[in-house]
Structure 1
Amino acid sequence: MGSVIPMEGVNLSVEPKTTSGTTMILPKTEPVDEFTPESTNPNGMSFENRRDSGGVHSEYNRISELFRNAFGEKAGERREEDVVVGDYEDPDCRALVAVDNDDQVSDIVIARRKYEKRSSELVRVTDLKPEDETYFRDLIRRTRMLYDSLRIYISLEDENNQHLGPGRQTRARGDLKAAQMMREHGLWLNRDKRTVGAIPGVLVGDVFLYRMELCVVGLHGTPQAGIDYLPANQSSNGEPIATSVIASGGYEDDEDAGDVIIYTGQGGQDKHSRQIVHQKLEGGNLALERSMHYGVEVRVIRGFKYAGSSSGKVYVYDGLYRITESWFDVGRSGFGVYKYKLVRIENQPDMGSAVLRFAESLRDRPLEVRPMGYISLDISFRKENVPVFLYNDIDNDRDPACFDYLLKTLFPPYVYQHVGNGSGCECADGCGNNCFCAMKNGGHLAYDINGILLRGKPVVFECGPHCSCPPTCRNRVSQKGVRNRFEVFRSRETGWGVRSLDLILAGSFICEYTGVVLTQEQAQIFTMNGDSLIYPSNFAERWAEWGDLSQIDSNYVRPAYPSIPPLDFAMDVSRMRNLACYMSHSSSPNVLVQPVLYDHNNVSFPHLMLFAMENIPPLRELSIDYGMPDDSTAKLAICN
């Protein structure tokens, strides 16, 4: 295990500087994620009055009941002075509480609760061994996966509230509720120590869609303030120390040149983000100055609008910066502001925010941005909805261009023998949780209205060619093919690999793993001929991890229905394949394999559909857990 070093070097007694003038100290806030009763539960629908439409909604209602019981404070027991809607200086004292009013409609308010305080001990984690890095990365991955699963479940609140009318159909704050539930169960990370520097398991370039997720993993510990710091009253020497900042252009005097940031301190703004009074060297401002004095680096997270995000915004961890200068200046509005020069520490991976912008330019102008290295601008030859690039700037290998691109898996003809009229639903206007196909899934549909997989299952039934529902039906997701733009690329570490030029959201469909299906007898013959075969039974059942809420709900049971027999077939990819064949192996993957049926009902031969297990940033390599391949598969040798 790596070393955890107490930050003893900051225990120096230095008199803090002060300035005179009228001041207004407020956290450097992010108005997009402001906590209000309307943002946490805009629909105003009580948990207990939501309609149960089947298995997923029952699961959701059970979780909601846990949530309600955990925060069971009633309106009659609540004092008016306990309600907090604006003060974010101490994020450790608030909870989301369901409160019943006279109309039997529940609102969510921010109420003070007693929580275990964040640690006041500053530490730096160093000398992590490879196995330590793997452990912490997997811990972060599983925590984020639980957060996303919870958030997606809670978003079903919108669907349950459709009957309230158009005026009540606004976005539920599932991000806030999911974070609060995880906090109640002690699942927030990095609370026992205040880590200076890198957070183990969080990589430069990791993308977060919500501010609360930063708090859950411990990257930035405050839900609103742009400066996270150890307060003076908790510090061993009585001085605050900053640990992370969020740079999102919220202050008019901010300047961001990438490796160098001129960061404006906090305070002095009105509710419209206008500077109206002088800032003062207190709180986060003093913490940044003291971090500069002691040479303590800070984590920088950039927040900006991004069209590919479900929240409309992303937060990207861009690495460690040192504060090299601080000064008091007159800002654009004529009021005094504190400014800090942050310089990025060398020898770190590329900034995630820069990678997102680079990928965006690649999508539109690939040959202009990277004139060398492209072998093909579409190895699918327009079979996919979007082109699949082939890129190699390492050597002369052109192997992926030598295969026929296989859009969908080829099954033996007998697989389709029992497919016919009467095998599909009759939902002319689109499917709901009471339709025939939903019943085959256990009483509910597998996807939300955005096409996100709600929970991994042994098999998912989608609507097929004999269903009456339209092509826009929410139960037709994976059969529609690729939606993101991908690039098969040559890697020095993994041979051929796959990466996306788009941000892929957790739970989103990626592509099908295609091949020519063979029986075991056929597979033996093809193996003797030296052909490349894939055995689906070897894929690890990572689908069981997506939507696993056992840490939140003690009654959670791993899905066992609908069930399928063991996958007793092979797939030949020696002559025809698609982009999935080039995905690398990982024991901590970001892609799962989900069996899906839609064009036939033979459960012994499902399609192998790939879904994202986490938010995957552009240009990050996609990986699958191929399990423990035996000598007959040689999977890793096929593509790498």
Structure 2
Amino acid sequence: MDSSSSAEPFQDLNLTPQPHPPTTINPQTEPKPEPYVDECPPAPLPHPPTPTPQTPDVYSEYHRLSELFRTAFTQKLQQHGDVSISILPESDPNSRAIVPVPNPDSQLSNLVVTPRASARKYQNRSSELVRVTDLKSEDQRYLRQVIRGTRMLYDSLRVLAIYEDDKNRIVTGSRRTRADLKASQLMRECGLWLHRDKRIVGEIPGISIGEVFFFRMEMCVVGLHGQPQAGIDYVPAGQSSNGEPIATSIIVSGGYEDDEDAGDVIVYTGHGGQDVHNKQVVHQKLECGNLALERSMHYGLEVRVIRGFKYEGCLSGKVYVYDGLYRIIDTWFDVGKSGFGVFKFKLVRIENQVEMGSTVMKFASSLRIRPLEVRPKGYVTLDLSKKKENFPVFFYNDIDGDHDPIYYEYIATTVFPPYVYNSGNNSGCECVDRCLDGCFCAMRNGGEFAYDYNGNLVRGKPLVFECGPHCRCPPSCRNRLTQNGIRNRFEVFRSRETGWGVRSLDLIQAGSFICEYAGVVLTREQAQLFTMNGDSLIYPSRFGERWKEWGDLSKVFSDYVCPSYPSIPPLDFAMDVSRMRNLACYMSHSPSPNVFVQLVLYDHNNVSFPHLMLFAMENIPPMRELSLDYGVADEWMGKLAICN
């Protein structure tokens, strides 16, 4: 722990309480949470047996702050050091710092991962509030990886649940269940929900503004918003050390007719008093979440704001975007549009934060429809692919006059040597209508297909066999996913930080297909010759094996084994992208990529020459740069030299 870290003596929020605003209307009604927009409310979860208590580690006295921080995050993070936890001194009622209390039994690093049948007891949320500041860059990277890994596990479980559910429905005709609830329940039983041992006020380390969530339960899993239904997340008065509730986050999704959302300024309607049709039918009361917002305003505590809105093409029909921190500056009791009394809260966005994610998504939506109207300058061409892709690939450069990408021949798929197509078994499946588990191509994949019916990769594998030209199934077969081309709109752009880059104009869901990494395949001998001539080559064997991370369920199932079938020999070829390439060749290198390579075969059966298909490792918001783990990066730019 760095000597610059400090922890002042602290008190809790038990300051001299100010009297609550009087209310002249006091009907007897139960507060109602924000309307739940998904199919049905969460199912009750079972109570697994209590695990054997863990023995806490012992730390030296002068590392007391380290102990607090270890509790707030993980034992591994403590070794990075240079962390300070803000405290709320009794003498400063306007301070926005909160009090941490140690709880050594709640470390992420001490999790006991067991199969579902013998899951550990679910940990209730703590009432203690903390704010973490002054994180070093390595701490931030580590915490980002914690969030990223947790979300990847959640998405992997959810996709697997959908896949298994679809199989059961085909056999039994049963109704589809909620995969998002199944995934969160499994992680809950294994103690994998984050930030259960503290309530974080302010930023959640590892979650950046603009992060997109398809399901509310996912926000509960990562600790961004801990209520699966209610729009106000808060510490109840009964759990608070000073007997007053404190709010930490809200969801603004248009569920209340009196809400006013101007972006940086929000007039938020308190909860309660609505019927099942979301109509205000009785007066609201200053209690629960409403009182928590008022108390947060009194103590000067910021709240996280998440916006929910409808979005076409996603399973839930709605997405949630984290838009940053807001401060509550005013509250009053008013007569709403329905004629009933409601509490209103005025929130103002704190300055010097990055642009709101919801604003970026709206900008991208406009860009898809009328790009030249939204950005009159900077476009070199509106289709770099020259109609070779399903959607046009924009090419944008408002930085300099470099138009290099337009001088390459665009190819949508890899060019293999002719002899590759003449080797191997050319048999295919006999499915006429649609392919089901048990057909020839499914057996080649180990008895099951690699994709669910929504077009998501269930888990990464050494190699995926798709149906090909020798199969009788139609082009709409779900096992022809990658060969049908891109499903999103992309833009190759010039960046001051990374040179050339790629971003999507659409929201890409984790596990979705992005595009092929295309080039001209060369044998080892040819590659050596081309290298001597100074041409730039890509070596597929150097790509990081990130496919192993997608679908890794080892933290949930103790008997999980990383797929090793179908096995393939080491990739012993190179790809020349110096003359012919596609949009994937402009993706940046990153040690924490949001895209991974999955090897696929479909148009030939030579396992030594697979296609390099790219899939999303996480939800990728519009306008966010796509990145790959190339394995070997350029020393200066952090990406391959061919793309600079």
User: TM-score if structure 2 supplies the norm length?
Assistant: 0.85
Q: Distance in 1 between matches of 2:136 and 2:381?
A: 39
Is 1:14 aligned to residue 21 of structure 2? no
Q: Secondary structure at the match of 1:141?
A: helix
Q: Secondary structure at the match of 2:596?
A: strand
Code of the aligned partner of 2:520: V
Q: CA offsets, 1:46-101, max 9 Å, x none?
A: xxxxxxxxxxxxxxxxxxxxx989599xxxxxxxxxxxxxxxxxxxxxxxxxxxxx
Percent of residue pairs identical: 71
2:166 to 158, 162, 181: 158
Code of the aligned partner of 1:586: S
C-alpha contact (below 8 Å) 2:521/2:573 kept by paired residues: yes
Q: Residue 87 of structure 1 aligns with which residue?
A: none
- With 266-275 and 205-214 compared, the bigger mean Cα shift is at 266-275
Q: Distance in 2 between matches of 1:540 and 1:4?
A: 40
C-alpha contact (below 8 Å) 2:414/2:520 kept by paired residues: yes
Q: Distance in 2 between matches of 1:5 and 1:361?
A: 48
User: Residue 343 and residue 280 in structure 1: after superposition, are their counterparts in 2 closer, same or farther (change >3 A)?
Assistant: same
1:490 to 491, 494, 500: 494
Return the offset for 1:116: 2.8
Q: Distance in 1 between matches of 2:184 and 2:121?
A: 16
Q: CA offsets, 1:244-273, max 9 Å, x none?
A: 000011111001111111000011112221
Return the offset for 1:437: 0.6
Code of the aligned partner of 1:161: R
Q: CA offsets, 1:107-152, max 9 Å, x none?
A: xxxxxx9843211211111112211111111111111111011111
Q: Residue 118 of structure 1 aligns with which residue?
A: 125
Code of the aligned partner of 1:348: Q
Return the offset for 1:8: 4.8
Q: Secondary structure at the match of 2:268?
A: strand
Q: Distance in 1 between matches of 2:268 and 2:375?
A: 32
The answer for unaligned runs of 5 or more in structure 2 is: 51-119
Is 1:241 aligned to residue 249 of structure 2? no
User: Residue 250 and residue 184 in structure 1: after superposition, are their counterparts in 2 closer, same or farther (change >3 A)?
Assistant: same
Q: Distance in 1 between matches of 2:489 and 2:424?
A: 33
C-alpha contact (below 8 Å) 2:31/2:285 kept by paired residues: no
C-alpha contact (below 8 Å) 2:270/2:342 kept by paired residues: yes
User: Residue 197 and residue 630 in structure 1: after superposition, are their counterparts in 2 closer, same or farther (change >3 A)?
Assistant: closer
Is 1:600 aligned to residue 600 of structure 2? no
Q: Distance in 1 between matches of 2:511 and 2:445?
A: 18
C-alpha contact (below 8 Å) 1:452/1:507 kept by paired residues: yes
1:544 to 543, 548, 559: 548
Q: Distance in 1 between matches of 2:415 and 2:541?
A: 17
1:475 to 479, 492, 496: 479
2:514 to 500, 503, 510: 510
C-alpha contact (below 8 Å) 1:393/1:490 kept by paired residues: yes
Alignment of 1:20-39 (within 5 A): 20-33=25-38, 35-36=40-41
Q: Secondary structure at the match of 1:161?
A: helix
C-alpha contact (below 8 Å) 1:158/1:172 kept by paired residues: no
User: Residue 566 and residue 280 in structure 1: after superposition, are their counterparts in 2 closer, same or farther (change >3 A)?
Assistant: same
Alignment of 1:241-390 (within 5 A): 241-390=246-395
Q: Distance in 2 between matches of 1:306 and 1:439?
A: 37
- With 606-615 and 345-354 compared, the bigger mean Cα shift is at 345-354
User: Residue 114 and residue 613 in structure 1: after superposition, are their counterparts in 2 closer, same or farther (change >3 A)?
Assistant: closer
C-alpha contact (below 8 Å) 2:234/2:246 kept by paired residues: yes
Is 1:586 aligned to residue 594 of structure 2? no
C-alpha contact (below 8 Å) 2:634/2:640 kept by paired residues: no
Q: Distance in 1 between matches of 2:572 and 2:638?
A: 17
Q: Secondary structure at the match of 1:33?
A: coil
Q: Distance in 1 between matches of 2:266 and 2:401?
A: 40
- With 126-135 and 529-538 compared, the bigger mean Cα shift is at 126-135
Q: Distance in 2 between matches of 1:544 and 1:463?
A: 23
Return the offset for 1:161: 1.6
C-alpha contact (below 8 Å) 2:265/2:346 kept by paired residues: yes
Q: Distance in 1 between matches of 2:545 and 2:230?
A: 40
Q: Distance in 1 between matches of 2:368 and 2:12?
A: 47
Q: Distance in 1 between matches of 2:121 and 2:438?
A: 43
- With 522-531 and 608-617 compared, the bigger mean Cα shift is at 522-531
Q: Distance in 2 between matches of 1:505 and 1:152?
A: 11
- With 116-125 and 311-320 compared, the bigger mean Cα shift is at 116-125
Is 1:198 aligned to residue 203 of structure 2? yes
2:144 to 132, 137, 143: 137
Q: Residue 80 of structure 2 aligns with which residue?
A: none
C-alpha contact (below 8 Å) 1:197/1:297 kept by paired residues: yes
Q: Residue 87 of structure 2 aligns with which residue?
A: none
Q: Residue 581 of structure 2 aligns with which residue?
A: 577
Q: Residue 398 of structure 1 aligns with which residue?
A: 403
Code of the aligned partner of 1:490: R
Q: Secondary structure at the match of 1:292?
A: helix
Q: Secondary structure at the match of 1:301?
A: strand
Code of the aligned partner of 1:460: V
Q: Distance in 2 between matches of 1:8 and 1:261?
A: 32
Return the offset for 1:236: 2.0
Return the offset for 1:430: 1.4
C-alpha contact (below 8 Å) 1:25/1:266 kept by paired residues: no
Code of the aligned partner of 2:203: A
Q: Distance in 1 between matches of 2:519 and 2:513?
A: 18
How many aligned positions are there?
568
Q: Distance in 2 between matches of 1:126 and 1:68?
A: 37
Q: Give structure 1 regions of 4+ aligned residues with deviation exceeding 6 angstroms.
A: 1-7
Q: Distance in 1 between matches of 2:614 and 2:592?
A: 15
Q: CA offsets, 1:414-454, max 9 Å, x none?
A: 11112675x11111111111111111101111101111101
User: Residue 25 and residue 305 in structure 1: after superposition, are their counterparts in 2 closer, same or farther (change >3 A)?
Assistant: same
Q: Distance in 2 between matches of 1:473 and 1:271?
A: 41
C-alpha contact (below 8 Å) 2:383/2:393 kept by paired residues: yes
Q: Secondary structure at the match of 1:548?
A: coil
Q: Secondary structure at the match of 2:480?
A: coil
Return the offset for 1:538: 0.6
C-alpha contact (below 8 Å) 2:461/2:547 kept by paired residues: yes
C-alpha contact (below 8 Å) 2:632/2:640 kept by paired residues: no
Q: Distance in 1 between matches of 2:46 and 2:230?
A: 27
C-alpha contact (below 8 Å) 2:498/2:639 kept by paired residues: no
C-alpha contact (below 8 Å) 2:154/2:184 kept by paired residues: yes
Q: Distance in 2 between matches of 1:193 and 1:334?
A: 40
